Amino acid sequence: MPGGDEVACVGQGTWHMGDAPAHKDQEIAALREGIDRGMTLIDTAEMYGQGRAESLVGEAIAGRRDEVYLVSKVLPSNAGFEATIAACEASLKRLGTDWIDLYLLHWPGATPFEQTIAAFERLMAQGKIRQYGVSNLDTADCRAFTAAGGRAMQVNQVLYNLDQRGIEWDLLDWMAENQRVTMAYSPFDGGALLANDALARFARARDMTSAQVCLAWLLAHDHVLPIPKSATPERVAENAESAHWQLDAEDLAELDDLFAPPSGPEPLQIY
């Protein structure tokens, strides 16, 4: 990370976790499996399940907080100075922790960036967060955020996968040039890539799974950190193995033929 933190190269997402009480034990087991396998970065947000995902994460990391790099997010509707501080304190309570390692603005809204940044800096001074960043900001927004005083921005968390490559036109380069980390959410494109026959053939030819190809492809890019969400221990174990695979130049060229990079600027895609 720009601030010097060393984090896992593959993290764990939690969107839609905590929504079904019947799946609670399995989801907690999945998160703990990921921690056991070195996927110690866990991403969540106050928006996910209106706090239910944060509460689930809090249960999963109980007794293991020091092993985890915890990421959460504040909604743009809560991005004012006082509201951000209150939102963070509510997230801390749900997570059962005294600090969040990385706190993000979930997407840009009507609140000026200066207010959110001032709140982030106050929270850092209070020890309630260690670093801050953003999510779903395009290149112009990233420039505006840093110009507003957010030069300590660590990451921009955006939709990025083999099927959604628009950020390669300019945002990915801006992030790398400014030594910020691109945190890639929905690396399986909501599951669509796992059902892609061409990708399945590519994976089988290399004794990989489609999910492992998706993650290995992201890991082949500098300053890119994928955060797949998988709700079973078996799928989490499969994801963890992706860190041991390395795609070569021919592999990457073949994937470019299957999933074309952008030919021009595209609006930032958001799920």
What digits encode the pLDDT tens for the residues 243-271?
999 999 999 999 999 999 999 999 999 98
> Which parts of the chain register pLDDT below 70?
none
Residue among 48, 103, 132, 160 flagged as catalytic: 48
- pLDDT of 192 reads 97
Give the up-direction half-sphere exposure of residue 69: CA atoms within 13 A in the CB hemisphere: 17
Q: Please work out, in degrees rounded to the nearest 5, the angle formed at the alpha carbon of residue 33 by the alpha carbons of 28 and 35.
A: 100
3-state per-residue secondary structure call for 1-42: CCCCCCCCCCCECCCCCCCCHHHHHHHHHHHHHHHHCCCCEE
- pLDDT of 271 reads 87
What are the boundaries of each domain within the chain?
A: 21-258
CATH (residue range 21-258): 3.20.20.100
Ranges of H-type helices in 148-209: 171-177, 197-204
Catalytic residue list contains 48: yes
| DSSP string for 76-120 | GGG-SHHHHHHHHHHHHHHHT-S-EEEEEE-S--SS-HHHHHHHH
